[in-house]
Structure 1
């Protein structure tokens, strides 16, 4: 993210964003969000020369340059009266007149004004700063890299008035503390770097009051709702890197993460391909690797040898303080917290019911009916303790039927849920997978600007990612339970993959690798979103749900739409 300006100073670049999309400017300026995409990276490449610091002095106002025309690169300007700050890409000094030159990566548009309004406003803000510093500045230039063309933009009274009006509007919106609504069906959204965080079409769909259920007929949408476009990439190119070999060491070599064991290289992965690093048991990591991962906002998740999610090492905390303030306020409001917790619990119970309905060979009608009633009761619960009671009874009914889903020939027996430590192989698998799910949602919550430790259903406890556990509820049957069922029934995991200790059952390293492999396959499998209609991986779904929760906490959507499959 670009360097922060002095307190109270608005960057000229932010006026560009505000004129383009007020919501984008708010996300970046007030909430501190930033993400690169191909367009922003191309822009950095175009600026690679002009962004170099230039030590040549710029003549003071009223003095002529020593040479007929002087060029100074990356000139920083700020003015307290205007409350503006800018870095001029290139400053051209000709006698006593100065001209700011702004570099843009695209082609010059065919417009009477010579450029789009956001670009002209940003350039005019630079001109106002130069005038405030005492220079003569009547126009600026935008250099469009793709067309290799200079376009002169006069700083006339109309443009100056528009720039100052936008500056005042931006300050008002930022001070109000209410994020502007998303653009509706805008062609600007697909190429926006923050589209995966903004969720414009998804937010518009939910705030217009459509039910949180599959929508098949676009005719039922309110006017202006449009179709939810697949603006998110179905999957992220980066993947988790898990290291579980006892005694292994993780280091860094150039742009790569290197895993070694006793001098032998086990793996080598590009840093750009790592979404987060998972270390199981006695695995070491070098200070250089840890620092590089922190600088790149790549979390390092630490697990016990048995798979207990112990901690997470990250860089500095997410900058979205506003969202965390709202999160803590809702958590401290019992009715609001209960409403959210009810959505998590009801979503979980309905997904448990779906898993049983799809996989049971015996008659489980009574259990299905009981779970349907429990989900309805959860939605009507008026307190978190009541919810916990409903969830506990539903879980008891669910797990009583869950054991019947395993094939007898596998030799695995499940008589009910137990943990800390698990006393049978199936529970060992479930505990491990629940830890993996909590890890994924801790990472997703952190990436969305939420505090993973402050939940709404699970009571805060030292070191426990309560919010991640809240978000995990609806995904336990869809991801963890279904993976455990598949592992056993397909024979991918066998009794010899477990060892019995005096107090419980643990997986062998080979067993853990088998479970991790199946888990990753499940997260990479694609699913059609039941509400938005586009296809994405389950790992991407986890991130979308965390960001929908953020949209709810910020007051943009009325209800949290739990992810439910049919």
Structure 2
């Protein structure tokens, strides 16, 4: 199985990254802070104004180490990478199926909705006795309706547009009860509705930040197996949008990103003071809180779960790569269908 390599996240404004022998070195005001062997790196993610030496960019491109540049809010700006990898025949198969891949879309939607439902059911299992009756009823109703959506999507004559509608319906159900999953005493961390670009409250800021990290990992996974990250199946093509990366992350949003966000808030590792509002009205994580989240993200990626199709244990951090690999195998005709990743 592929080895889980490291991602270096650089958040200190004005930090400088350079190559020193076979190592990446991060300096702040001329003082070395981090030294990482290049052979242990999968990618580098830089937030805000970070200096990167030409020598480091060159060796990273040569060795397949992606450098992603994000602004201070976590919005994507650019990627630095080497030549396109992968088999051209695989990409041609991907392009041919892009507009008529009902079976792939069905698997993606089933995986996403099932995992959203599993997150709600886990909360009911763990905290049902502490909930009031209306909250418990709302969560139970949501899981029942999601079960109906799963049965509907499984029907062989369901069109792609109908499956997209079912995915949207399930997402509305999920976020309608999301506040019942939050157990923080801080009123500023309560949930109202999904907002993005920009996030308008603390929980949306946390989710958007984690989704940015997950998108990066899924895009890197698609490219690693030779797929075009811009051409998806569930998500329609749009200039500048990594549609396939968004497809791959749909199954992982709830069990990986949402569960981590809820864990950080419910364990009171993040409090209201860890967020700040800027003049535009957007809410952002503070610098210290962002570092805490990045550490927790790396720890979560090392946790292992049994892969339901491969029947092998794999860390969360490898799941995007494994799913991209399963998709590539399906496009090549090696397996009959793309197997969703189900969290349990």
TM-score (norm 1): 0.57
Mapped pair 1:431 → 2:192: no
- Equivalent residue for 1:358, pick from 119, 122, 145: 122
User: Match for residue 270 of structure 1?
Assistant: 37
Structure 1 regions of 5+ residues with no counterpart? 1-231
Mapped pair 1:533 → 2:308: no
- Which 10-residue stretch deviates more, 480-489 or 507-516? 507-516
- Equivalent residue for 1:249, pick from 16, 33, 42: 16
Instruction: Give, in whole Å, the separation in 1 of the partners of 2:12 and 2:216.
Output: 19
Instruction: Give, in whole Å, the separation in 2 of the partners of 1:532 and 1:289.
Output: 36
Once the two structures are TM-superposed, the CA of residue 298 in structure 1 deviates from its matched residue by: 0.7
User: Match for residue 347 of structure 1?
Assistant: 111
User: Match for residue 57 of structure 2?
Assistant: 290
Mapped pair 1:314 → 2:81: yes
- Equivalent residue for 1:404, pick from 145, 161, 180: 180
Which SS does the other structure have where 1:454 is aligned? coil
Which SS does the other structure have where 1:328 is aligned? helix
Once the two structures are TM-superposed, the CA of residue 387 in structure 1 deviates from its matched residue by: 2.0
Which SS does the other structure have where 1:533 is aligned? coil
Q: Is the 8 A contact 2:86 2:227 kept in 1?
A: no
5 Å matches for 1:160-171? none
Once the two structures are TM-superposed, the CA of residue 353 in structure 1 deviates from its matched residue by: 0.4
Mapped pair 1:323 → 2:90: yes
User: Match for residue 216 of structure 1?
Assistant: none
Q: Is the 8 A contact 2:8 2:44 kept in 1?
A: yes
Instruction: Give, in whole Å, the separation in 2 of the partners of 1:286 and 1:493.
Output: 34
Instruction: Give, in whole Å, the separation in 1 of the partners of 2:77 and 2:112.
Output: 24
Mapped pair 1:391 → 2:167: yes
Instruction: Give, in whole Å, the separation in 1 of the partners of 2:62 and 2:7.
Output: 17
Once the two structures are TM-superposed, the CA of residue 408 in structure 1 deviates from its matched residue by: 4.2
- Equivalent residue for 2:282, pick from 479, 483, 504: 504
Q: Give the number of aligned pairs.
A: 330
CA RMSD of aligned residues (A): 1.4
Instruction: Give, in whole Å, the separation in 2 of the partners of 1:530 and 1:319.
Output: 26
Residues 462/413 of structure 1: CA separation in 2 closer, same or farther (3 Å cut): same
Deviations 1:274-329 (A, max 9, x none): 11111111112111100000111111112121112333211000141111111111
Q: Is the 8 A contact 1:403 1:416 kept in 2?
A: no
Mapped pair 1:546 → 2:324: yes
Instruction: Give, in whole Å, the separation in 2 of the partners of 1:319 and 1:493.
Output: 41
Which SS does the other structure have where 1:297 is aligned? coil
Instruction: Give, in whole Å, the separation in 1 of the partners of 2:307 and 2:198.
Output: 35
Instruction: Give, in whole Å, the separation in 2 of the partners of 1:456 and 1:463.
Output: 16
Structure 2 regions of 5+ residues with no counterpart? 129-135
Which SS does the other structure have where 1:368 is aligned? helix
Deviations 1:362-385 (A, max 9, x none): 232211110111122223363332
Instruction: Give, in whole Å, the separation in 2 of the partners of 1:539 and 1:260.
Output: 27
Instruction: Give, in whole Å, the separation in 1 of the partners of 2:20 and 2:183.
Output: 47
Mapped pair 1:375 → 2:139: no
- Equivalent residue for 1:466, pick from 225, 243, 256: 243
TM-score (norm 2): 0.92
Task: List 4+ stretches of structure 1 deviating above 6 A.
Answer: none
Instruction: Give, in whole Å, the separation in 1 of the partners of 2:267 and 2:55.
Output: 42
Instruction: Give, in whole Å, the separation in 1 of the partners of 2:95 and 2:17.
Output: 36
User: Match for residue 133 of structure 2?
Assistant: none
- Equivalent residue for 1:519, pick from 284, 297, 315: 297
Instruction: Give, in whole Å, the separation in 2 of the partners of 1:271 and 1:246.
Output: 23
Residues 385/503 of structure 1: CA separation in 2 closer, same or farther (3 Å cut): farther
Q: Is the 8 A contact 1:347 1:375 kept in 2?
A: no
Deviations 1:165-212 (A, max 9, x none): xxxxxxxxxxxxxxxxxxxxxxxxxxxxxxxxxxxxxxxxxxxxxxxx
5 Å matches for 1:485-496? 485-496=262-273
Once the two structures are TM-superposed, the CA of residue 358 in structure 1 deviates from its matched residue by: 0.5
